[in-house]
Structure formats: C-alpha cells, structure tokens
Chains A and B, each alone.
Chain A
C-alpha cells in the first residue's frame, strides 16, 4: 500500500476549490474518503481480474485543454444533439445542441452549478477510491433533465476525446434525470490518441416512474489508455434502464454498472460486448440490486479474448428480503482464441427472498470447429467464416440498442476487429 501515490491528488483538489459553486465541501469529503480507502489492489475482491498497476505507479495530473483540436469523427447515426468534451473540457464550438434546449434542460455541468449551487448535493459521492476521486476532481460533464412525458427520439451523443494528455486524467461527470414517462437515449463515445492518459468517467442517472433511458457506450480509447467508467442508476416503478456497451479500446478498461430497482415492475438491462487482444484487459462489473417486489433484470454479455488479451465479467444480482416475484437473468459467454488469452467470469447471485426466479448461465470455449467447417465447405474462406460466427455470437448482446444505425455501427466495429485478427493471423 505504501507505493500508492495518494498524496499527489491533494494539491489537485486544492486547485479546484472555488471553481464550481456548491462543490467545495463535497470535494473535501470525497478526498478524505479517497485517502482512507486507497486504490484497489490485486487482492481487492471486486478488482481481482483488473490490472490497475498504472494507478499505483504514478499520479495522473488534470488534463489541460487540447492545444490543437483534433478532427472529430462523424456521429454514429442520426442524433438529436451532440456534446463534445476534449480532454474533459466542454467544447462549445464542436458541440451541437440542436433544438433540444427548447424542450429539455441540457447543458454542461459547470454552467449548471453556476446557476444552481444547491444542485451539487445531488451528485453521487461514489463507493470506492476511483469514484471518490471522480467526485473530488470533477470539472465538467453533461447535465440532462428531460421533463415528464417528453420523448426524445434520436440519441444524444456524448463524445469524449483525449489528445496530447500523457500522464493526465479527466474525471468527467454526467448527470441524467428523466421525469415520469420521459424517454431518451444517450450514446457515450470514448476516443483518444496513443498517449498514456486516464479517463475516469462517472454517469449518474435517475429514471422516474414509467420513464425509459437507454445508455449506449462505445469505448475506443487509445492503445495506452486507462479507462474506468461507472454508471450509478436508480429506477422507479415501471421505469426502465438499458445499458449496452462495446469495449474495444484502451490498454486497461473497466466498466461498472450499479443499478438499483426502486419501484415495482422496474426493469434493468445491462448488456455488452468486450473484445481484448495484445495485452489489453477488459473488465465489466455489474451490480443489479432488486430492492422491491416484481422488478426484472436481464444481462447478456459476450466477450472475446485474443492473444495476450483478457476479458472478465463479474455480475452480481442482489435480491432484498421483501423483493418477491423478482425475475433476474444473466447470460455470459466468452470465447478464448489462444493460449495466451484469458477469460474470467464471476456471475454471482445474492438472494434474500424466496418467491423469485433467478438464473445465470456462463460458458467459455472457442468457436465451433464444426460450424467453421460447414461454412468453409460452402466456399466461404475461413476468415470470413470466423467473422460471421463472431457476428452471430455477439448479436444477442447488441440486440437492445434502440437506434438501428448505432447498432449497425457497433456491429461494424466488431467486424473490423475480427478483420484485424485475421490479417494478423495471415501475416
């Protein structure tokens, strides 16, 4: 524990005191909690499959605004608004709020607190060193409040770009609130250059009665990046939250979903695909908590580990004492492509109610040799055959992306990843 550079973050917090109204006390408390907790180690149970040595080796500074603005990719599909953060700073010029501001409250976090300092109390404090640090060092993010009954059809894209930020971090915070019966889709994208930066993102959402929030994550960080992201979501009665993630970038990447079902017939979906190769480690941790009766949750994860890649999935479903009639399902399937690759799974059930239907299934294996043989005997070359099988393998986990163009863009990335594998195999 001694080698943890904990003290380096104190001065960063000091430098932010007074910059965002209402957050000073919060920062101080979070820093204290962070120092008391310390970064997780290889022995921390919830982090047993994650390699976050980078965090203990160095203190990541706060990323400065980019000197030269990078060229941004096109949106993944039709959008109703686009929010751009470069090195964790809101980039007004490249963002496009469309017409949304007329019906919903949508603005950068910094502006939000300038107008309503007391709203800072609603910020999630976190539950481990990494989330505490996010709270202590948050500077910007998206604030989206959709009033009751308002339906936003096209997704809101939130693009994170990191550039020239060697040894620097961004602790970005998004706050989403959906009023009763409201509906919205947020697509988060993470991109970056080859520098060794750290993205520490935290997404907090409240889904009111009968509302529906889709949260799509496309993680394509640069090859040397550390990516830690958390979502804290509370869902009221008959509300629904659907998270679908695709993790292909970064050196070490971890996504955590902490979802609480707070009202009857609330529904949580946490799906995802992770593809890891060449020393990458992709880790997913979900905790779905059924606190009331008659809520449902469903999780579908598909991961592939190629040479020196590691994928891990830890999914925990908790059913509280009175949460009768709960239905919870988890399906995890992993492919391992060679002997230097690794797949880990820990699908966990914690059940304190008796009238429930909970199940999980997990499988690990390789692509079905018979299926490849069948396809090649029909004249399809082996690389294409493998690509087709992988597309089929991952399809179930992408199925619940509500926007077809976004779903297609995600499938394209899986295809491209497979193409890169077969090019490497031929060479």
Chain B
C-alpha cells in the first residue's frame, strides 16, 4: 500500500492532535441566540428570500415545535438546549462577494490551511493531469465563493449556493425542495427546514456529464453556532455528477450542533455519486467538546435505471446520527452505500443506510466497515425493505466491524423486510479484532505496532476506499491513520 508510508508521515506531523482545530478570527454577524419565529424571519430576511420561502420555513418551525427529539439511536449526549445556539452566523460583509478578490483574505487563508484549492489558479497550477474540482465553500452558515462557475455554466450545469438558487431558480427549488425528505420527516430535518442558512444547489441538465467533480467544504467556525446546511442535487435524464463533501470544524470545548439535510434526485438513466469525508472535531481525549452530527441524507432514484452511490468516510464528530438512504422508485434503479466509520476515544457513531425497493428490478449494495477504538461506540443500523410490487429485487449487504480496544463497542442492527417472493436478499456481518497473526507478520517486517494497525485497518476498508474519488482517497487514508492514533498499546 503506497499511501501508508505517507500516511504515517502525516501522523507524525500532526502528532495526534486535531489538525484542523484552529479558529479563524473573523468578525461574524449573528442572529440573536435561541430559536423563535423571529429568528426564522431574521434568517429568511438576511437571505433576501421571497415570501413563499418564509412561509415554508415558518410552517416547518411550527411542525418542529410539535415533534420530539428521537432517542432510538445508540448514542448518549446531554440534552441539547435549542435556545442556547446561534442559528445564523455569517462572516461580516456588506454585500455578497462578487468575485474571489472580495473574499476576506483571512477566510481564504483558512481554506488554504484546510488544503482546499479554492482559487482556481492553485488547482490549475497543480500537478499536471490532476482533476479539476469546483468548490462551493461554506463558512459557518454562508456560502462564500463558488469556483469554476463559468466553465460549469457553459456545460449548462447550475452550481450555486441554495440561497442564490431560491432567488434565481425558484420554480426548480419549489419543485424539488423537501420532495425527498419531507419537512416532517424527522426532528432534525424539520429543524433544518426552519433555520437552514445556506447550502448547495446543483442541477445537471439532460444528457450532460458534469465536466468536473463538484465539491462543498463545510466549516464551523463561530462559537455556539449550529450549522444547518441544505443540499439539493438534481440530475436530469441521462445526466451524471460526482459530488464531494468535506467537513471540518475548529476545536471548541462546547458541543456544536450540525443538522444538515441532503436531498438527491436522479431522473431516468441519471447517476449521482456522492462522497463524504466527515472530519468534524470529535472532541478531545476525554470526550469534551466535539460536533453533534445529526444529518438526514436521502436520494430518490425517481427515474428508470437511475443510480445513486453514497460513499462516506466518517472519522470525526463526537456524536454521529446519519443514514444516507436510497428510495429506489424507478424500475431498474440502483442504490449503493459504501461506508467506513471510525470512532476513537469517546466518540459515538450510529450510522448506516436504508434501501427502499419500490420499483421492479432494483438493486442495492451495502458495504459497511466499522472500526471502534478507545472507549467509543460504533453502530451500524440499516434497513433493506422490499415492497410487494417490486419484482426481482437484489440486495447484498456486508457489515464488518473491527475492534481495536477492549473498552469500545461495536454493534450491528440490520432490518430486513421483504414482501415480494422474487427478492434475493443477502446479509452478512462479522465482528472481530485485529488478528495477532497479521500484527505479528507486519511487525516481523519491521513495522511498529501503530503502523501495522494502520495498514491492517486500511486493508480492512479497501472495499470502500476504492469507491472514493482519487483526491479524497488519499486524504481519507491519512485520516484513518490519524483517527486511530494513540489507540494502540
């Protein structure tokens, strides 16, 4: 494994501390603390939203107030005081930035530290043949810059912040927003509807193969801010798009809430590939601080032979509650879920997927790799459901858990519900520890224990990592090593 040596170098460089735990000193503009109808109105007004959007938010807020926070996941955290959070925080600016030159240099520096090629020049000046990536950078709650706009425009691809889309393409937003995740879907989704501050909108027109990877980089900066992102991606007939999402947050003692909603819609023959590397601040070694990551991600394979593929590498967050799902409505549609979830110290992750087979000849694949270290708890929770009208459904599920310490937990909770005789559903799960034989072999070849574990873990995750786009695969591999640092011996 070529990346391992490099990953090891990275580990020694960062010496196990959260690499992205810096705070950028930028004045930010905030809504008053707490949640009320006024705050919803404030956010809507700040975004210059039309009346229908405000109404929609207010209805969502009313619905949320009547809902209860879910408690079925295997995660424990102190009760969240929803009135002790800032729901809107924007870097202070008179107008929205018109070009990159207007973007606060300090902000750009933040992204540079994160290693995002925000400036097109940087990418273009990069290694020859390296893929181009268009970035929509979200800082706290506001999208600050979208790169490569011109080139995308030529292809007819719409890639902009969702607040812009609400203003510029209201019909399209109206048609698809909450069409996959209804407002009342769950507690956190309803909250997101009421207070989401920004996010990304992508529309790929008929027959267009998006010329580059699209990417959003989220970062939570301000203190006590919740980040409520909203992403909506629509791939029209025969379109293809690959979307990358990366997340980091600075170190803070307090817990920060992140409740995003991501909706994907794939029409006939369209394909969406959605990759996530989630590296929110996980809290310190004693479980203090860290992000609460309560995210609703769902794809609707609406058209015939459409395909959605979720790939996620989850190494961050103190608490994760996340189930990227596929509703396979179109006949012959395909859903995929490839996941690596690593937990260390006191992290808790409850993550998995739902594959709802509604159309005939629909297929799904689930590969989930959970790695628990330290005193963490790692749960896979998934559902494969076949409705009675869905003939010839195929599903293959594999959930493997690896335990790296004697004080952690690894749990598997799969649900299988089948109402059609022609379905073929297979589910396999295993739980084991890093084998002594493998460790011994690696160590006899001169690797120290930590290197050996990193190598074995990378091998364990290979089936998932190979589905990540190249740029992410390298970063993800490094992250795996960093996340597990200090977990051995």
Q: Chain A interface (Cβ within 8 Å of chain B)?
A: 45, 321, 324, 334-366
Contacts and interface: CB of A to CB of B under 8 A. Distances in A.
A360 B411 CA distance: 12
A363 B429 CA distance: 12
A366 B393 CA distance: 12
Nearest to B380: A349
B411 A347 contact: no
B403 A360 contact: no
Interface in B407-427: 407-427
A358 B424 contact: no
26 contacts: A339-B389, A339-B419, A341-B419, A343-B416, A343-B417, A343-B418, A345-B415, A345-B416, A346-B414, A346-B416, A349-B401, A351-B409, A352-B408, A354-B405, A354-B406, A354-B408, A356-B433, A358-B431, A359-B429, A362-B416, A362-B425, A362-B426, A363-B424, A364-B424, A365-B424, A365-B425
Contacts of B386: 364
A282 B421 CA distance: 17
A250 B222 CA distance: 61
B431 A349 contact: yes
10 tightest CB-CB pairs across the interface, nearest first?
A354-B403, A362-B427, A364-B425, A345-B416, A349-B412, A358-B431, A364-B418, A339-B388, A366-B421, A336-B421
B68 to A, nearest CB: 12
A365 B386 CA distance: 11
A284 to B, nearest CB: 14
Nearest to A347: B414
B64 to A, nearest CB: 20
B150 interface: no
A350 B409 contact: yes
Interface residues of B, number: 36
Contact of A346 (B413, B424, B428): B413
B412 A361 contact: no
B241 interface: no
B430 interface: yes
Nearest to B416: A345
B133 interface: no
Contact of B418 (A45, A324, A336, A349): A336
Interface string B377-414: 00000000010110000000000010111111111111
B72 interface: yes
B167 to A, nearest CB: 42
Given A349-B411, A356-B431, A359-B430, A341 B421 contact: yes
B76 interface: no
B12 interface: no
Contacts of B411: 348-351
Contacts of A340: 388
Contacts of A342: 417-419
A355 B404 CA distance: 9
Chain A interface mostly:
strand
Contact of A344 (B409, B418, B426, B433): B418
B432 A362 contact: no
Nearest to B388: A339
B421 A338 contact: yes
A425 B428 CA distance: 34
A50 to B, nearest CB: 14
Contacts of B426: 361-363
Nearest to A359: B430
Given A346-B413, A355-B406, A336 B419 contact: yes
Contacts of B415: 344-346
Nearest to B405: A354
Contact of A360 (B404, B406, B412, B420): B412
A346 B417 CA distance: 9
Contacts of B432: 356-358
B406 A353 contact: yes
B401 A351 contact: yes
Given A354-B406, A354-B433, A361-B428, A339 B416 contact: no
Contacts of A352: 408-409
Interface string B420-463: 11111111111111000000000000000000000000000000
B66 to A, nearest CB: 17
A362 B420 contact: no
Contacts of A344: 415-418
Contacts of A364: 386, 416, 418, 423-425
A74 to B, nearest CB: 36
Contacts of A365: 423-425
A336 B420 CA distance: 7
Nearest to A360: B429
A344 B415 CA distance: 7
Given A45-B72, A347-B429, A348-B413, A334 B421 contact: no
A62 to B, nearest CB: 36
Nearest to B436: A355
